[in-house]
Amino acid sequence: MASLSDSSKQSLLPNFLYSSPTSFAVDRLLNANNPAFGASRFTTLESPAASSSPSIKSRTFMIPSPNEPGKRIEMYSPQFYAACTFGGILSCGLTHTAVTPLDLVKCNMQIDPAKYKSISSGFGVLLKEQGFRGFFRGWVPTLLGYSAQGACKFGFYEFFKKYYSDLAGPEYFAKYKTLIYLAGSASAEVIADVALCPFEAVKVRVQTQPGFARGMSDGFPKFIKSEGAAGLYKGIVPLWGRQIPYTMMKFASFETIVEMIYKYGIPTPKDQCSKSLQLGVSFAGGYVAGVFCAIVSHPADNLVSFLNNAKGATVGDAVKKLGLLGLFTRGLPLRIVMIGTLTGAQWGIYDAFKVFVGLPTTGGVAPAAGTQPAKA
């Protein structure tokens, strides 16, 4: 049975995720040309900054792959970042597509509150006017856009978290790790939103203007014809205003909540907990983090929906029509439910994929700065 399970995993996973003689040769070449790159690959899991300290003995943290004992994913190697990027695609692309009906109602409540007065009436209006298929209008730009965003969000977060941790060193990482989580997630989201913005613009227009287009294939050229190519990025600043605070809260609060759960809520050390328990912690931490995310990013979310729906609209027009109170509250209860569930599911999927390829789950209690990690 074990061999059957291993072979099935091997058939599902791309070989580039695991180290091979070729990749080791490439790694040696990179390390020879850039000692800093090689140094950054020798670290412990919980404290990415540990490799920067001369007082801590460096060691390679090697993770056996689930299918071949002779191959492995090394922490902070190119294969590690590739795995995190692919996990981000699954995490964000699948979850955002699954909640397309909720997103559709939310966007229409923000754009036309007189018609879509509540969550229940909003679903009723959509069902009456567009039928059941109408609930999934705009799912293609949602899937493509948030898959691209997820790849950049999670992949670059892992990169920037390690990069800033190495800059800070283990002592300052232990003191200011929350700031490092905030900086890493903000840096990643700036890049991720550049990938998302064109798809988001088409998605909102398709979802809030019936008859504009059926989906991505006809909506994209129609949008460019109407707004020009630059119009695809008309909402980039409000999108950054929505997504950067959201992602900073998503990653920093998740890391903190998970650390607190393992420290105060579970008597067993994380590395002794079952994988199912660790994934449960990931989902719970993600859900709580998602509630905070929804609150801090909601005003900008209203702005994005308004600007992408109305041709030539400005931020001033949005504030005038929605009002300051409306910016903070219109559609908020639905978004809390949606984002809480979404964020919990995203962390669950992301960490489940990491476990599947032989990597540890995200977060946990970091070792005290200046202590030597226990030998394996």
Residue 30 pLDDT greater than 60, yes or no: no
CA–CA dist 269, 262 (Å, integer)? 7
Q: What is the mean pLDDT of residues 21-28?
A: 43
Q: Summarize the confidence of residues 182-203 as an average pLDDT.
A: 96
Give 322's pLDDT tier (boundaries 50, 70, 90): confident
**CA Rg, the chain, in Å?**
22
Query: Could you give the dihedral angle defined by the CA atoms of residues 28, 32, 34 and 39, in that order, rounded to the nearest 10 degrees?
Result: 60
Cα separation, 51 vs 60, in Å, equals: 10
CA–CA gap between residue 119 and residue 334 (Å, rounded): 7
Kindly tell me if the per-residue pLDDT of 23 is higher than 80: no
Distance CA(80)–CA(45), nearest Å, equals 12
Q: How confident is the model at residue 220 (pLDDT cuts 50, 70, 90)?
A: very high
Contact 347, 254 (CB under 8 A): yes
CATH 1.50.40.10 domain locations along the chain: 74-233
**CA 189 – CA 247 distance, rounded (Å):** 7
Asked if residue 294 lies in contact with residue 340, where contact means CB atoms within 8 angstroms, the answer is yes
Q: Is 290 helix (H, G, I), strand (E, B) or coil?
A: helix
Stronger pLDDT, 311 or 102, i.e. the higher one: 102
What the block records as the tokens of 64 is 């056996």
* 347 or 111: which leads in pLDDT: 347
Reduce the DSSP state of residue 74 to 3 states and report it.
strand
**Per-residue pLDDT at 82:** 96
Lowest mean per-residue pLDDT among 33-37, 69-73, 346-350: 33-37
Instruction: Please state whether beta strands 62-64 and 72-74 pair in parallel, antiparallel, or not at all (unpaired).
Output: antiparallel
**pLDDT tens figures, 246-291:** 899 999 999 999 999 999 999 889 989 999 999 999 999 999 999 9
- Specify the range with the lowest mean pLDDT, choosing from 49-58, 84-93, 252-261: 49-58
* Amino acid at position 210, single letter: P
76: left (phi > 0), else alpha (psi -120 to 50), else beta?
left
- Is a pLDDT exceeding 90 seen at residue 24? no
Percent over 90 (pLDDT), the chain: 45
Comparing C-alpha atoms, which of 371, 167, 343 is closest to residue 258? 343
Count the Cβ atoms, other than its own, within 10 Å of residue 103: 23
Amino acid 21: pLDDT: 43
CA 151 to mean position of chain CA atoms: 8
Confidence at 216, pLDDT banded by 50, 70, 90: very high
Mean pLDDT value of segment 104-118 = 82
**Amino acid (1-letter code) at residue 270:** K
Q: What share of the chain has pLDDT > 70, as a percent?
A: 77
120-160 tens-digit pLDDT = 888 899 888 888 888 888 999 999 999 999 999 999 999 99
- Does the pLDDT at position 192 exceed 90? yes
Q: What is the pTM of this model?
A: 0.73
Tell me, which fold does domain 74-233 have in CATH? Mitochondrial carrier fold (1.50.40)
CA angle 240–244–248, rounded 5-degree value: 180
Does residue 58 carry a pLDDT above 70?
A: no
Give the per-residue pLDDT at 69.
Answer: 46
Q: Which has more confidence, 57 or 324?
A: 324
d(CA 117, CA 115): 6
